[in-house]
Structure 1
Amino acid sequence: MVKLSVIIPTRDRLDCLKQTLASLQKQTFTDFEVIVSDDGSTDRTKSLAKQKFPFIFKLVSQPNLGRAAARNHGFSVAEGGIIVFIDDHIILDKDFLKEHYNTHQKFAKKGVAVARGRVEYVKDVSAVPKKPPRFTKKINKFNENSPFVNFITNNLSVSRDVLELTGGFDPDFKEYGFQDQELGFRARQRGFKFKVNPKAVGYIFKADGEDTPEILEKRLDKFRQAGRSAVLLSRKHYWAGLRAGVNLFNVFLNAILSLDNDWFLRFCRAQQAPTKDGKRWQYWRAKMRWAMFLKGLREGFDKYPADKYQPRSGDNVVMLVSHQADLSGAPISLAILANRLRGKSYYPILVLPQSGPIEQKIDSARVKVLNLSKYFKALKLYIYVARFRPAIIHANTFLTEYALDIAQKFGIKTILHVREDLSGFPALAKRLLRKARRLILISHSMVRYFDSEPTRLDVVYNAVEELPKNEPAAEIPYNLLYAGSIEKRKGLWDLARAFALVHQQNPKATLTVLGQALSSEKMYFWKIRRFLQKHGLLPAVNFAGVVNNIVPYLDKASLVVVPSHQEPFGRVVIEAMSRKKLVIAAAAGGIPEIIEQYRSGFLIEPGNPEQLAKMILYVWSKTAEQKTQIREKAYQTVAERFLPDAYVENITACYRKLQNDE
């Protein structure tokens, strides 16, 4: 794969284009490709496809849809990580591409994703100097961070992320003017930083020849087109700089410019015609340019009605909204998805309620991470949605229901990932079904909550992060492991009573508890501790609290116990099975969909500590060979059904269904 892709939109400028391609052959940087995007040329531009160049050359063609669409067409076949845009009538300095590449390499860690080079204007190709003239202008912070100053695609490079996240150039801009700045505004809005490198020099020469009256009229018409494009820009972006001011002068423009026969233009031309003095001629030509621009503004109000045009965004931008930033099951599942979406042609934006340990599992090079404020989370998310305009909002649990309301305001399609047991909340289930376009459930046991709309439901099992590359470490004999939050529905009270029975039969038995009590379950936690203390079992129980890495505890356990009363899926079950651990779990929720009784694990009745104690002793009594068979079957189950690639493929299939829904 090449490092740079150079995209050149063109239309009927074959002679100029050949000069530009000749300068590309002299570049000191060689790891690049050139893509010429032909916007409906009627000359022999297509003959370039038969020529040979010392670089990778691609020619793509389209009907005359405008330069914005032509640039997007070129990007669709580009392979480089950095995209360089130039015009078809520019001569490049020999170090042009090297300077653009070095700018991105040097400032990428600071968030710079847009590099603007320097443009010098010459009369013709023969006037191009051998060495770039000395750069004497001052570059200030305004110039570096203003898309209206910097984002001009006759000499510009951007990272792939910019085009993927913004959706590229807006094809609504079919006429001359502001299509570059509109994309620059969206790039700046999404947090990308700009950098100016005056050493990346290009020389623009006249593409239309001498200044004949016909050529001058053609150039003046460009200002008229720019006026119309300015109105379109203001329709799409209120704060882009024009809508507020232009609307104030709307009445004035109509009064001045809608008079019969365009009296101001006729006056300018009358003054220009007899003028022989060069400066005076330039003065009146400038007046005519502004007159044409103002006339275009007036026409733009009729051509582009208000409230009809929306800012463009990436068609495959997905905003993933998490309710937590810890290392619990739901955020881990979301991290697995986010890290792999780029490989499925989706651009993920992960929104977290605050900074947290889950960020350590995120590949920052492939996922854009945003944090909400401690207060006013919904307001901050509203601002993010307005800035990034995702194609899909994926709410990770019903606790991010507010994301569905915000998406509705912007007309954005939504998916809700339901991970909770809603058996006691039928009204909530109906409300969620009403707000979300599609729902993803984590087990078939949850379908009954939403059986009124089966066509909008998809069941996608969770996945482990990865299969272990090495054999698990040696386990501690008779060591039980519980991993999960300490609350009534998780059944730790049942395990404590079962452990008391087990310890009577086997005094060597120990219990490790991972997780902490919810704030509303403190009394429940102290009830368990008092029970263990009363029976003299506290020395045999290790309350390890919340841990960042569960793997060492899994490896040491001889048996993993999941005694939940309600468990829509049971992530700890598949994590233990992936480590070839024996698992005893209550047959609640989606757990029976994972464990095959006596083959890959063991199921018990929820809320039955006596049965749980008997099952623990039964499993420990099995021979080493029998245990090995069950461990291997458990591992095989995970390898066949609960791997990340299949999980992400199933989720993206849901995205495609959503995008195809009308």
Structure 2
Amino acid sequence: MVKYSIIIPVYNRPDEVDELLRSLVKQTFTDFEVLVIEDGSNNRCDSVVDNYKSKLNISYYFKENSGQGFTRNYGFERADGEWLIVFDSDCLIPGDYLAIVDDYIKRHKIEAFGGPDRAHETFTSVQKAISYSMTSLFTTGGVRGDKNHIGVFHPRSFNMGIHKSVFEKTGGYILPRKGEDLEFSIRIIENGFKTALIEDAFVYHKRRTNFSQFFKQLHFFGTARINVFRHFKSELKLFHFFPSIFLLGIATGLFLAILFPILGGIILGFYALYFLLILIDAGIKTKSIRIAVLSVIASYIQLTAYGMGFLKEALLYIRKG
């Protein structure tokens, strides 16, 4: 049995898989296998995988499209590793990733872990701005991989590992998509397994390449939160309402600015201050005025798109009773 099995679900992204596999070749810890699971793609990556068979212990599988959750299960079922690690296909993995994970697991009693994501220096300015927005305390509360995250840490499937016993007990993902990773993390914790954030086990996550794609993704994330609520009523926390409150607050401020300019101006002034803080924080962290400005735009898109998806799905849930 190998120590780690890396599961990579993929759908029509051969170029990204090539970059991901190239980064795995550089791992300093080498006791691992790679399973690439093609989820019914039209643009397959089997030829890409073939190029790495002399460099990696790698297997390729093709299956009918069923969504990323069930595709990860497909990989879990065929893996030989003691630990099962999932990466999104649009990630790049630092060379010391597995060495860091292995060292942490030896020193801590855990059954599941997750790591943060960062922007690589080769990413575009928009990708770096999106990365800031998706990891900032101002927009997410640190739930995606900050040591100051709110509550118990829930690993996310773009960078996540579980002991094989976790899969054997939980059965893996029960949703194909739309909040499937969060639902799985909740069940992992409810089954008594201990999770941990390994801060240094980060990946470079490409995310979306333009704001239009980013809007669609975050709108989907907003609907996914309500989908998780359908299964776990206790998992809808006050801070999950923040994007919707943010969205309604802007709409209210703009409306009042027409009828009651002073009151509307006060409300919009708070938003201006909020975005100024994001601009300053992003400027300090990215060391770029351009990326800082784009980070403000990305943060606005993230909160409004998520809020719209959240409200839309919540109203649908209420109507259905």
Structure-2-length-normalised TM-score: 0.68
Match of 2:215 in 1: 220
Shift of 1:158: 1.1
Query: In the aligned structure 1, how far is the partner of 2:213 from the partner of 2:157?
Result: 21
Task: Give the secondary structure class of the aligned counterpart of 1:200.
Answer: coil
- Residues 226 and 310 of structure 2 are in contact (CA less than 8 Å); yes or no, is this contact kept in structure 1? no
Task: Find the partner of 1:152 among 129, 134, 156.
Answer: 156
AA partner of residue 161 (structure 2)? S
AA partner of residue 293 (structure 1)? G
- Residues 233 and 242 of structure 1 are in contact (CA less than 8 Å); yes or no, is this contact kept in structure 2? no
- In structure 2, stretches of 5+ residues that fail to align are 126-144, 252-292
Match of 1:24 in 2: 24
Q: Which has the larger radius of gyration?
A: 1
Task: Give the secondary structure class of the aligned counterpart of 1:43.
Answer: coil
CA 1:194–1:217: 2 relative to 1, 3 Å? same
Query: In the aligned structure 1, how far is the partner of 2:201 from the partner of 2:294?
Result: 33
Shift of 1:201: 2.8
Match of 1:200 in 2: 201
- Residue-by-residue CA offset, 1:327-370 (whole Å, 9 max, x unaligned): xxxxxxxxxxxxxxxxxxxxxxxxxxxxxxxxxxxxxxxxxxxx
CA 1:95–1:39: 2 relative to 1, 3 Å? same
Match of 1:499 in 2: none
- Residue-by-residue CA offset, 1:633-655 (whole Å, 9 max, x unaligned): xxxxxxxxxxxxxxxxxxxxxxx
Task: Give the secondary structure class of the aligned counterpart of 2:43.
Answer: coil
Query: In the aligned structure 2, how far is the partner of 1:227 from the partner of 1:279?
Result: 20
Query: In the aligned structure 2, how far is the partner of 1:162 from the partner of 1:199?
Result: 23
Is 1:119 paired with 2:135?
A: no
Shift of 1:22: 0.6
Match of 1:167 in 2: 171
Shift of 1:8: 0.9
Query: In the aligned structure 2, how far is the partner of 1:118 from the partner of 1:160?
Result: 22
- Residue-by-residue CA offset, 1:467-504 (whole Å, 9 max, x unaligned): xxxxxxxxxxxxxxxxxxxxxxxxxxxxxxxxxxxxxx
Query: In the aligned structure 1, how far is the partner of 2:72 from the partner of 2:316?
Result: 24
Is 1:82 paired with 2:88?
A: no
Q: Compare relative contact order (CA 8 Å, sep 6+) and give the higher one, 1 or 2.
A: 2
AA partner of residue 233 (structure 2)? Y
Alignment of 1:302-381 (within 5 A): none
Structure with the largest fraction of helix = 2
Match of 1:58 in 2: 59
Shift of 1:102: 2.5
Alignment of 1:151-550 (within 5 A): 151-171=155-175, 173-175=176-178, 178-206=179-207, 208-209=208-209, 211=210, 216-241=211-236, 281-282=297-298, 284-286=300-302, 288-298=304-314, 300-301=316-317
Task: Give the secondary structure class of the aligned counterpart of 1:199.
Answer: coil
Shift of 1:24: 0.6
CA 1:227–1:297: 2 relative to 1, 3 Å? farther
Structure-1-length-normalised TM-score: 0.35
Query: In the aligned structure 2, how far is the partner of 1:218 from the partner of 1:138?
Result: 25
CA 1:198–1:283: 2 relative to 1, 3 Å? closer
AA partner of residue 8 (structure 2)? I
Shift of 1:113: 0.7
CA 1:100–1:232: 2 relative to 1, 3 Å? same
AA partner of residue 153 (structure 2)? S
Root-mean-square deviation (Å)? 3.2
- Residues 6 and 32 of structure 1 are in contact (CA less than 8 Å); yes or no, is this contact kept in structure 2? yes
Shift of 1:59: 1.3
- Residues 153 and 196 of structure 2 are in contact (CA less than 8 Å); yes or no, is this contact kept in structure 1? no
Query: In the aligned structure 2, how far is the partner of 1:126 from the partner of 1:280?
Result: 16
Query: In the aligned structure 1, how far is the partner of 2:295 from the partner of 2:33?
Result: 44
Task: Give the secondary structure class of the aligned counterpart of 1:198.
Answer: coil
- Residues 223 and 296 of structure 1 are in contact (CA less than 8 Å); yes or no, is this contact kept in structure 2? no
CA 1:298–1:196: 2 relative to 1, 3 Å? closer
Match of 1:372 in 2: none
- Residues 104 and 115 of structure 1 are in contact (CA less than 8 Å); yes or no, is this contact kept in structure 2? no
Shift of 1:100: 1.5
- Residue-by-residue CA offset, 1:570-623 (whole Å, 9 max, x unaligned): xxxxxxxxxxxxxxxxxxxxxxxxxxxxxxxxxxxxxxxxxxxxxxxxxxxxxx
- Residues 119 and 204 of structure 2 are in contact (CA less than 8 Å); yes or no, is this contact kept in structure 1? yes
Match of 1:15 in 2: 15
Aligned length: 253
Shift of 1:217: 3.1
AA partner of residue 83 (structure 2)? I
AA partner of residue 99 (structure 1)? I
Shift of 1:278: 5.3
CA 1:163–1:241: 2 relative to 1, 3 Å? same
- Residues 103 and 115 of structure 1 are in contact (CA less than 8 Å); yes or no, is this contact kept in structure 2? no
Shift of 1:63: 2.3
Query: In the aligned structure 2, how far is the partner of 1:232 from the partner of 1:286?
Result: 19
Query: In the aligned structure 1, how far is the partner of 2:100 from the partner of 2:302?
Result: 35
CA 1:296–1:12: 2 relative to 1, 3 Å? farther
Between stretches 224-233 and 281-290, larger displacement belongs to 281-290
Match of 1:36 in 2: 36
Match of 2:45 in 1: 45
Query: In the aligned structure 1, how far is the partner of 2:222 from the partner of 2:146?
Result: 30
AA partner of residue 92 (structure 1)? I
- Residues 38 and 61 of structure 1 are in contact (CA less than 8 Å); yes or no, is this contact kept in structure 2? yes
Query: In the aligned structure 1, how far is the partner of 2:198 from the partner of 2:299?
Result: 32
Task: Give the secondary structure class of the aligned counterpart of 2:85.
Answer: strand
Query: In the aligned structure 2, how far is the partner of 1:225 from the partner of 1:56?
Result: 35
- Residue-by-residue CA offset, 1:514-570 (whole Å, 9 max, x unaligned): xxxxxxxxxxxxxxxxxxxxxxxxxxxxxxxxxxxxxxxxxxxxxxxxxxxxxxxxx
Task: Give the secondary structure class of the aligned counterpart of 2:9.
Answer: strand
Task: Give the secondary structure class of the aligned counterpart of 2:6.
Answer: strand
- In structure 1, stretches of 5+ residues that fail to align are 128-136, 257-276, 307-662
Shift of 1:236: 0.8
Query: In the aligned structure 2, how far is the partner of 1:23 from the partner of 1:299?
Result: 43
Query: In the aligned structure 2, how far is the partner of 1:41 from the partner of 1:54?
Result: 24
- Residues 220 and 306 of structure 2 are in contact (CA less than 8 Å); yes or no, is this contact kept in structure 1? no
Shift of 1:280: 6.6
- Residues 35 and 79 of structure 2 are in contact (CA less than 8 Å); yes or no, is this contact kept in structure 1? yes
